[in-house]
Amino acid sequence: MTPLRYHLLGRSGLRVSELALGTMTFGPDWGWGADLDESRRIFDRFVEVGGNFVDTASNYTDGSSESFVGELVRDRRERFVIATKYTLSLDPRTRTPAATTGRASCARSSRACAGCGPTTWISSTCTCATT
């Protein structure tokens, strides 16, 4: 495979690979998906071809995705741009949306994401609205 090229992410100054690695299936919590060893193989191959842009979300496989990503970037965090979606949070008691697009919700979700696994910061957040 030809090594990936990099592009600026909007006006953020972040250089991201032309392909992002989606990690929705990192974690077997939903009865399917990749365990940590398989996730590591996928992640390592992505890095091998030059990937540095990783997408996750607070509710992907009930949080395992963010934990796995944190583990996978542990000793090389500065090399990656990690994006997460913070309005996908669900109240575990009612399974209803628990987040809004407000600043407080963004800050709370960002702190929770940074606490999942060994990563200490996220690079980008985005909101997702469902209809």
Whole-angstrom distance, CA of residue 10 vs CA of residue 21: 18
- Assess whether 6 carries a catalytic annotation: no
Smallest Cα–Cα separation from 9: which of 127, 129, 126?
A: 126
Q: From the candidates 26, 46, 60, 68, which is the catalytic residue?
A: 60
Whole-angstrom distance, CA of residue 131 vs CA of residue 122: 27
| Residue labelled with tokens 């407000």 | 102
Residues annotated catalytic, as ranges: 60
